[in-house]
Amino acid sequence: MTPFRSTRLGAAAAATALAAVFALCGPVTARAEPAAAPAAAPAAGTDWLHTDGNRIVDENGDPVWLTGVNWFGFNATERVFHGLWSANLDTLTGQMAQRGINLVRVPISTQLLLEWKNGQAAVSSAVNTWANPELKDKNTLQVFDAFLATARKYGIKVMLDVHSAEADNSGHIHPVWWKGAITTEQFYTAWEWVTDRYKGDDTLVAMDIKNEPHGKPSESPRAKWDGSTDPDNFKYACQTAGRRILAVNPKVLILCEGIEVYPKDGTNWTSTSPTDYDSVWWGGNLRGAAQHPVDLGAQQDQLVYSPHDYGPLVYQQPWFQGDWNRTTLERDVWDPNWLYLHKNNTAPLLIGEWGGFLDNGPNEKWLKALRDLIVENRISQTFWCLNPNSGDTGGLLGYDWATWDEAKYALLKPALWQENGKFVSLDHEVPLGGTGSTTGISLSDLYGTG
């Protein structure tokens, strides 16, 4: 998801309601910068993560719980976080940490990664330098580096998500990982480049290979999931990208999302009939992982599956008709599509997107049901989203990018990692909220230094 969700299931597109918001920000300027130098490596860290059955653990084998939020904008035409047109980067990052967010999923585009790789990073006019004087004259790559440094200061970890091939506010609508001049090989190369640049920085702990691959049986292109090496097989693409990333940094987590449809028993991908397929949210169908699991080879313990799930205000799915509740959702939707991977101890899950408006009705009922499932099973998650300008979900912030939606935050708060009344960071040295935090602790505070 980016700002617009009305097209999630291929319904008519456009989300022009927010066009004015983006128009106010303007595009990036044309001024290019010299080729990017490697990012400065921080002090040697011990914060890399891996998996153990259905758990994510630290290097000592202690379980961790990744509980975070999405903050989009780097994926869009502005090429930087939305909100920097009025809010201060350090202030927002510090507030997230103080409120218990220990991971930020950062949507980005392959196009932007290639621009960075080729020394074409530009200065974005969507950054208000009065609100962010420390970002004055910084190009988009330098803004990202500034965010990583700020996240490190506050004990927050970061996950990159290739949200779209092109830098486009509606880029998530395109169903696959290649588009136009962006080829599959460039998609892999972009991932290798960014992994190499940050391989010494354990602030960036996870790579979400591609946001919401999807497509209906009759559509072309569309993403499928099987044992082939076909160009449109997302299982193969995620596996290939994951292996190439891990060849550069074997300690980073690899997240593989699902697709949209999967053939029912007795049918296969040659059918174009919708009734031959089980259908769910974009990125939410991981049925294929049962017979065709992603194979990362020697680094299989870096694999995390990452479904997305939404409520009836995003789309009135069939399972929201009639009398439904958490039991029916778990039985009819979550179990067969992705929760089985957790229950069978196959691999950890990280629900990369879930969220929505509080309506005192069905959508809120769904939100609480999924929240309770997350909490009871300690499933990792990144809530959609911090941004207020997400068309059919809203965000944790108001349109002033300063006021928090306290009711929505209160709904999310139980799904943020807390021990003994304090929020827990994924950093062994820095408490969540930074040095001297009164709301957070570090992993060493929780587990000791052994």
Per domain, the residue ranges of the chain are 16-420
Q: What is the pLDDT of residue 29?
A: 41
pLDDT of residue 46: 85
What is the mean predicted confidence (pLDDT) over 7-29? 37
pLDDT at 356 over 50: yes
Average pLDDT over every residue of 418-443: 97
Q: What is the pLDDT of residue 450?
A: 59
Q: Among 2-16, 211-225, 249-263, where is mean pLDDT lowest?
A: 2-16
Instruction: Please check the confidence at residue 22 and state whether its pLDDT lies above 80.
Output: no
* pLDDT surpasses 90 at 6: no
Residue 35 pLDDT greater than 80, yes or no: no
pLDDT the model gives residue 206: 98
Instruction: Give the C-alpha separation, 284 to 171, whole Å.
Output: 18
Average pLDDT over residues 56-81: 98
β-partners of residue 159 are 105, 206
Residue 290 has pLDDT above 50, yes or no: yes
Sequential DSSP letters for 209-273: --S-----TT-SS--B-SSS--TTBHHHHHHHHHHHHHHH-TTSEEEE--BSEEEPTT--TT---
Q: What is the pLDDT of residue 45?
A: 57
Mean pLDDT of 186-197: 98
The three-point CA angle 297-236-274 to 5° equals 140
Which strands form 50-52's sheet, in the order they lie side by side?
A: 50-52, 55-57, 63-64
Per-residue pLDDT tens over the stretch 302-345 = 999 999 999 999 999 999 999 999 999 999 999 999 999 999 99
Q: What is the mean pLDDT of residues 165-186?
A: 96
Q: Looking at residue 37, what is its pLDDT?
A: 54
Q: Which CATH code is given to the segment(s) 16-420?
A: 3.20.20.80
Identify the pLDDT of residue 154. Answer: 98
**Mean pLDDT value of segment 46-66:** 97
Query: Can you list the alpha helix ranges (DSSP code H) found in 11-139?
Result: 19-25, 89-98, 110-117
Q: How far apart are CA 156 and CA 94, in angstroms?
A: 9
pLDDT number for residue 99: 98
Check pLDDT > 90 for residue 21: no
pLDDT, position 13: 33
pLDDT band of residue 187 (cuts 50, 70, 90) is very high
Residues 449 and 428: beta-carbon distance below 8 Å: yes
Closest of 50, 60, 106 to residue 303, by C-alpha: 50
pLDDT of residue 52 exceeding 70? yes
- When pLDDT is averaged across residues 263-291 and rounded to a whole number, the result is 97
pLDDT of 11 strictly over 90: no
Mean pLDDT in the chain? 92
At residue 18, the pLDDT reads 37
pLDDT band at 449 (very low <50, low <70, confident <90, very high): confident
How confident is the model over 24-51, as a mean pLDDT?
56
Q: Single out the residue of 155, 172, 252 nearest to residue 211, CA to CA.
A: 172
Mean pLDDT of 442-446: 97
Phi and psi at 134, nearest 5°, equal -70, -10
User: Could you list the active site residues?
Assistant: 212, 353
Look at residues 276, 180, 159, 302 and name the one whose alpha carbon lies nearest to residue 224: 276
What is the reported pLDDT for 3? 40
* Res 103 pLDDT > 90: yes
pLDDT band at 39 (very low <50, low <70, confident <90, very high): low
Mean pLDDT of the region 151-168: 98
Q: What is the pLDDT of residue 125?
A: 96
